[in-house]
């Protein structure tokens, strides 16, 4: 006969910590990717605005530059919003893992992350 014990009951504390660490690692990579996206988007936008500036004039230039600026703002806004959400989850994972192990092992986002240093969003 098969054992009908739910798998969640058989997960040890070490397994739970390992799952959290895996999520932590994945989210840190996601932040790096989103920061790179921000730099790439800004570079492309500046290049395109330079082309528009040199190839158009008057009203067409103003419209193109305005649309470009709005699109850049929206892309950066949504990207930074998501980075903030990811950072908040990383801070939660740090607190959870640190509580489970009884010492401060994970502290980067809680102590030195951009949301804490520049936006005052400490979870402490």
* pLDDT reported for residue 31: 92
* pLDDT reported for residue 124: 45
**pTM of the predicted model, to two decimals?**
0.77
pLDDT digits (tens, 9 = 90+) for 81-113: 999 999 999 999 999 999 999 999 888 888 887
Q: Are 72 and 60 in contact (CB under 8 A)?
A: no
* pLDDT reported for residue 108: 84
* pLDDT reported for residue 4: 66
Dump strand ranges (E) for the chain. Answer: none
State which residues of the chain have pLDDT below 50: 1, 122-124
* pLDDT reported for residue 123: 45
Domain boundaries, the chain: 30-117
CA 46 to chain centre: 23
Whole-angstrom distance, CA of residue 99 vs CA of residue 111? 16
Whole-angstrom distance, CA of residue 102 vs CA of residue 16? 14
């Amino acid at each position: 006969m098969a054992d009908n014990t739910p798998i969640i009951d058989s997960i040890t504390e070490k397994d739970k910590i390992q799952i959290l660490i895996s999520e932590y690692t994945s989210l840190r990579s996601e932040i790096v990717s989103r920061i790179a996206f921000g730099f790439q988007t800004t570079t492309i936008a500046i290049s395109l605005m330079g082309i528009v500036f040199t190839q158009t004039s008057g009203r067409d230039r103003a419209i193109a530059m305005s649309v470009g600026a709005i699109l850049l703002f929206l892309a950066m806004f949504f990207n930074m919003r998501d980075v903030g959400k990811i950072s908040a989850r990383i801070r939660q994972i740090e607190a959870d893992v640190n509580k489970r192990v009884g010492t401060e092992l994970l502290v980067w986002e809680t102590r030195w992350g951009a949301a804490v240093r520049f936006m005052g969003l400490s979870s402490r």
